[in-house]
């Protein structure tokens, strides 16, 4: 099956391939077509002005082009990406609260007497500074895991990459907990830090140590051997036909 964008060049190429190989199916790309549908909708005269104002507001007045992401149940680590999207537009939210005339309430110094955006309503119920600190701490802790997930979803990932990402996660969080205690939320006590370490150790053992095979660790050793030999300017030359060096 051939499925790609639907430009003039690709349509011609698809037709030529199908003509030469009749068993290959030529299918329009659904994502590309949906994207073009959306582009056509927002270009309608009725929506053109609103779309232009939205872009002007996001880019010129605020400097932000990101939006707040939702927390989903079927996608990995969306709590991180959602929290990070809030952190990226935090000053925009503060500006929005000020524009609504509820700056004092938004900062947590007064009662919630205004009705409006659900996000603002939520923030009005929180101590803004404490929320910022806790959010940053949470994102710093789960960020390495979320980014590792994103990397490991690549089609080019090897089993060695899995082990190396786990080691990187441990290194980053160990450094964070040991050297950044001054910036860690006061709510993160020693027992909480111990719990974080215990959870990481448990998951690592379940994934690597107690797995049915030592495939992750073994592949990492093989990859490391090749790297070390190259680093020492002694290229690792596999013996053809013996299976060594694989």
Which range of 41-50, 109-118, 128-137 scores highest in mean pLDDT? It is: 128-137
Q: Which residue has the higher pLDDT, 157 or 52?
A: 157
Distance of alpha carbon 62 from alpha carbon 56, whole angstroms: 9
Q: Write out the two tokens for 162.
A: 């899995």
In contact, 114 and 102? CB cutoff 8 Å:
yes
CB atoms within 10 A of CB 228: 11
Residue for token pair 């909480």: 192
What confidence tens digit (pLDDT) does each residue in 45-101 have?
545 644 554 444 444 444 555 566 666 666 677 778 777 877 777 776 666 555 554
For range 162-170, the mean pLDDT: 84
Q: Is the pLDDT of residue 237 over 50?
A: no
Predicted model pTM? 0.55
């Amino acid at each position: 099956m051939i499925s790609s964008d639907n430009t003039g060049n690709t349509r011609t190429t698809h037709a030529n391939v199908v003509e030469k190989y009749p068993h290959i199916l030529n299918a329009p790309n659904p994502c590309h077509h949906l994207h073009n549908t959306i582009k056509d909708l927002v270009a309608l005269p009725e929506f053109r002005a609103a779309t232009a104002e939205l872009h002007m507001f996001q880019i010129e007045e605020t400097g932000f082009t990101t939006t707040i992401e939702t927390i989903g149940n079927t996608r990995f680590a969306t709590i991180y990406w959602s929290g990070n999207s809030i952190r990226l537009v935090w000053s925009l939210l503060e500006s929005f609260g000020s524009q609504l005339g509820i700056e004092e309430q938004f900062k947590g110094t007064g009662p919630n007497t205004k009705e409006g955006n659900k996000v603002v309503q939520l923030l009005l119920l929180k101590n803004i500074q404490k929320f910022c600190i806790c959010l940053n701490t949470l994102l710093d802790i789960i960020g390495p895991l979320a980014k590792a997930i994103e990397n490991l979803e690549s089609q080019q990932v090897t089993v060695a990459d899995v082990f190396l990402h786990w080691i990187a996660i441990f290194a980053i969080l160990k450094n964070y907990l040991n050297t950044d205690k001054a910036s860690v939320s006061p709510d993160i006590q020693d027992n909480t830090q111990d719990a974080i370490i215990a959870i990481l150790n448990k998951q690592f053992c379940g994934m690597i140590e107690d797995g049915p095979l030592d495939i992750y660790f073994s592949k990492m050793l093989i990859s490391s051997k090749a790297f070390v030999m190259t680093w020492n300017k002694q290229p690792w030359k596999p013996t053809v036909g013996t299976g060594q060096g694989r």
